[in-house]
Amino acid sequence: MKAHDGMYIDGEWRPAAGPDTIAVVNPADEQVIAHVPAGTSEDVDAAVRAARAAFPAWAATPPAERAARIGALRDVLVARKDEIAETVTAELGSPLKFSHAVHVGAPIAVAGSYADLAASYAFEEKVGNSTVHLEPVGVVGAITPWNYPLHQIVAKVAPALAAGCTVVLKPAEDTPLVAQLFAEAVHEAGVPAGVFNLVTGLGPVAGQALAGHEGVDLVSFTGSTAVGRQIGATAGAAVKRVALELGGKSANVILPSADLAKAVNVGVANVMSNSGQTCSAWTRMLVHDSQYDEAVSLAAEAAAKYGERIGPVVNAKQQERVRGYIEKGVTEGARLVAGGPEAPREQGYFVSPTVFADVRPEMTIAQEEIFGPVLSIMRYEDEADALRIANGTVYGLAGAVWAGDETEAVAFARRLDTGQVDINGGRFNPRAPFGGYKQSGVGRELGSHGLSEYLQTKSLQF
Ligand code: NAP
Ligand code: MG
C-alpha cells in the first residue's frame, strides 16, 4: 500500500516533526502493510497555523467557487473509487464488495450533496429590520474514527469547506491510508493551500493537541463516549464549539403486525454489516412474546449465513473486547443461538456472527456498545413495555420500527428518544440530519443541518 511519510500541511507533504511512526495492519491477515508518521503537538501546531492563515481568504471565497471545489473533490473520489475501496479493505478489513458499496458510495454521495448545498444555501437572510449573515465559525479540528473511515472524514470536511471554514484532520490511527488518499484528492481538486490539513497520529498525542489547541474554533469528534466526554470538557473550558457523534445501542422494534421474516432478516444484516462496527446499528431486536421463538430461529439462521462472508473487526484489541462482551453475555445468563466467543479463524481478527436470545434489559450486552457482530434479541409484552425497553439505555442514536402499516410504525417512532428511525426498512439518506439524543452526542451531521453546525450568525439591524 502506498503511504506518505509526511503530513499534508499548507498544500504540501512535509516531513513530520518527530521520528515516530504508526504501523498500519491488515486485520484480515495481521500483516503490516505500511507505516505513517505519528504526529506530535508540533505538527498539529503547524497545521493549525496553516489553517488560520488560509481562513480569511477561504471564508471570503464566493459560495459558488467553494461549491466548485467540493464538486471537483467529489469527481476525484469518483475517479479513484477502486483505489479507495482497496485501501479501506486493506486497513479496515471490510469485504471489497462492501467497501465499494458503502465506504466509497457514501462519501461520494455526501461530497456531492455538499457541492449542491454550498451553491444553493442561503448564507444571508432577512428577519424584520435585520439582515442575518451566516458566517463560517473558523478553524475546525476534526477527529475521526476507523469504522467508516472515509465517510466520517467527508461528513466533517465537506460541510466545513462549504461553510467557509478551514480544517485540520486527525484520522484514526488504524485507518490513516484512506485519509492520506483523501488529502491527495483535496489537492487534486484545487482546494487552496492551508484550507485542508492532515496530521496522522495517536489520539492521546495528536488528537489531544488538536482538541486543546487555542487556534481551533470548533472541534468535531466522532468516536467513543469516553473520549467524547473528555473532548467536550476541554472545549467547554475553552468556550469553543464542539460537535460529538458518539456511541449507540439502538433498538429494532418489530410490532406484531409487521412482516416478521423481513424485519428479522434486515435486522440481522444491519448488525452484521461492517462486522458490527456501526454506531447506529440496531443491536437490540425487540420482539413480541407471541412471535419470539419464531424470530429467534429466523435470526439464528440468518446469522449463520454470515459466517463465511463477514470481515474481521479492526484490530486485536477490538477482537478481545467483543469476545469479552460475548463471554459476559453467557455469564449473565443470555442464551447463545448463533456464534460465540471462540475465534472462528486462526489468522485475522475475526469474530463469529453472534446472536443472543433471552436478553434482559439490565444485562451488560443490552446496555453497552459492543461494536462487533453481536445481536441481542429481547422479549416484550405490549407496546408500553417495548417503548420502555427501547428507550432504556443512555444512548439515543438510531433505531427501526416495523409494522403492518406506516402510520402505526410512525406513531411508535415518534415516541422513541433517538435521532433517526428507519420505518419498515427505510433507506439511508445522506441529506437527512444524523446525530444523537442523550449520550449519543451533541450536534448533527449531513445535509443542511450538518452545514449549519459550521456557521455562526451575525445580525445587522437597519
Ligand atoms: P476512540 O478512541 O474514541 O477513537 C476515535 C478518535 O479519537 C480516533 O481518531 C482516536 O485516535 C481519537 N482519540 C483517542 N483518544 C483521544 C484523546 N484523548 N484526545 C483526542 N482524540 C483522541 O475510539 P476507539 O478506541 O477507536 O474505539 C473504542 C470504542 O469506541 C469502540 O469499541 C466503540 O464502542 C466506540 N466507537 C464508536 C464510534 C462511532 O462511530 N460512534 C466509532 C469508533 C469507535 P486513535 O485512533 O489513535 O485512538
Ligand atoms: Mg482509541
Burial class (CB in 10 A: 0-12, 13-18, 19+), 75: middle
Q: Decide the pairing of beta strands 6-9 and 12-15.
A: antiparallel
* Residue owning the nearest CA to atom 9 of ligand 1: 172
pLDDT the model gives residue 308: 81
* Residue owning the nearest CA to atom 22 of ligand 1: 203
| CA torsion angle 58 64 66 70 (round to 10) | 180
Minimum-distance ligand to the CA of 321? 1
pLDDT the model gives residue 2: 86
Closest by CA to 7, choosing from 32, 34, 30, 39, is: 39
Cβ-based neighbours of 362, under 8 Å, separated by 6 or more: none
Minimum-distance ligand to the CA of 434? 1
CA distance 353 to 304: 7
Cβ atoms of residues 89 and 1 within 8 Å: no
Checking if the pLDDT of 356 tops 90, the result is yes
Give residue for cell 462496527.
Answer: 277
pTM score of the predicted model: 0.98
Tell me the average pLDDT across 121-143: 98
pLDDT the model gives residue 120: 98
Cβ atoms of residues 344 and 351 within 8 Å: yes
Closest by CA to 275, choosing from 183, 345, 194, 375, is: 375
* Residue owning the nearest CA to atom 6 of ligand 1: 145
End-to-end CA distance of the chain, in Å? 59
For residue range 298-324, what is the model confidence (pLDDT) as tens digits?
999 999 999 888 999 999 999 999 999
| CA torsion angle 231 237 242 244 (round to 10) | 40
- Ligand 2 centroid–CA 204 distance in Å is 8
Cβ atoms of residues 150 and 88 within 8 Å: yes
Ligand 1 nearest-atom number relative to CA 144: 9
Return the sign of the alpha-carbon dihedral for residues 221, 232, 223, 109: negative
- Evaluate whether 6-246+439-461 and 251-429 have a shared fold: no
What is residue 137's three-state secondary structure? coil
- The residue ranges of every structural domain in the chain are 6-246+439-461, 251-429
| Residue among 94, 177, 213, 224 whose CB has most ligand 1 atoms within 8 A, to mutate | 224
Burial class (CB in 10 A: 0-12, 13-18, 19+), 379: buried
Cβ-based neighbours of 74, under 8 Å, separated by 6 or more: 108, 111, 112, 115
Per CATH, is 6-246+439-461 categorized as 3.30.1330.20? no
Closest by CA to 172, choosing from 142, 209, 131, 136, is: 142
For the question of residue 445 being annotated catalytic, the response is: no
Ligand 1 nearest-atom number relative to CA 171: 9
- Percent pLDDT > 90 in the chain is 99
Query: How confident is residue 65, by pLDDT bands cut at 50, 70 and 90?
Result: very high
Query: How confident is residue 223, by pLDDT bands cut at 50, 70 and 90?
Result: very high
Checking if the pLDDT of 325 tops 90, the result is yes
> Residue 458 pairs with which residues in a beta bridge?
133
C-alpha cell at 7: 503530513
The whole-angstrom distance between residue 6's C-alpha and the CA centroid of its chain comes to: 26
For residue range 209-222, what is the model confidence (pLDDT) as tens digits?
999 999 999 999 99
The whole-angstrom distance between residue 355's C-alpha and the CA centroid of its chain comes to: 24
What is residue 320's three-state secondary structure? helix
Cβ-based neighbours of 445, under 8 Å, separated by 6 or more: 155, 156, 159, 243, 245, 433, 434, 435, 453
For residue range 236-248, what is the model confidence (pLDDT) as tens digits?
999 999 999 999 9
- Ligand 1 centroid–CA 115 distance in Å is 29
In 251-366, beta strands by DSSP E = 251-254, 284-288, 335-338, 354-357
Ligand 1 pocket, residue 227 CB under 6 Å: yes
Instruction: Considering the candidates 91, 165, 173, 279, report the single residue annotated as catalytic.
Output: 279
Ligand 1 pocket, residue 244 CB under 6 Å: no
Closest by CA to 388, choosing from 412, 370, 404, is: 412
Instruction: Considering the candidates 91, 165, 173, 245, report the single residue annotated as catalytic.
Output: 245
pLDDT the model gives residue 156: 98
Query: How confident is residue 1, by pLDDT bands cut at 50, 70 and 90?
Result: confident
Give the mean pLDDT of the chain: 98
For residue range 170-198, what is the model confidence (pLDDT) as tens digits?
999 999 999 999 999 999 999 999 999 99
> Residue 245 pairs with which residues in a beta bridge?
222, 441
Write phi, then psi, for 292 (nearest 5 degrees): -60, -50
For residue range 135-181, what is the model confidence (pLDDT) as tens digits?
999 999 999 999 999 999 999 999 999 999 999 999 999 999 999 99
For residue range 109-120, what is the model confidence (pLDDT) as tens digits?
999 999 999 999
Tell me the average pLDDT across 48-58: 98
CATH number listed for the domain at residues 251-429:
3.40.309.10
For the question of residue 83 being annotated catalytic, the response is: no
Element (H, E) at 156: helix 149-163
Query: How confident is residue 17, by pLDDT bands cut at 50, 70 and 90?
Result: very high
Tell me the average pLDDT across 325-348: 97
Q: How far is CA 452 from CA 29, 137, 303, 431, 447, in A?
A: 42, 10, 40, 13, 9
The residue type found at 456 is Q
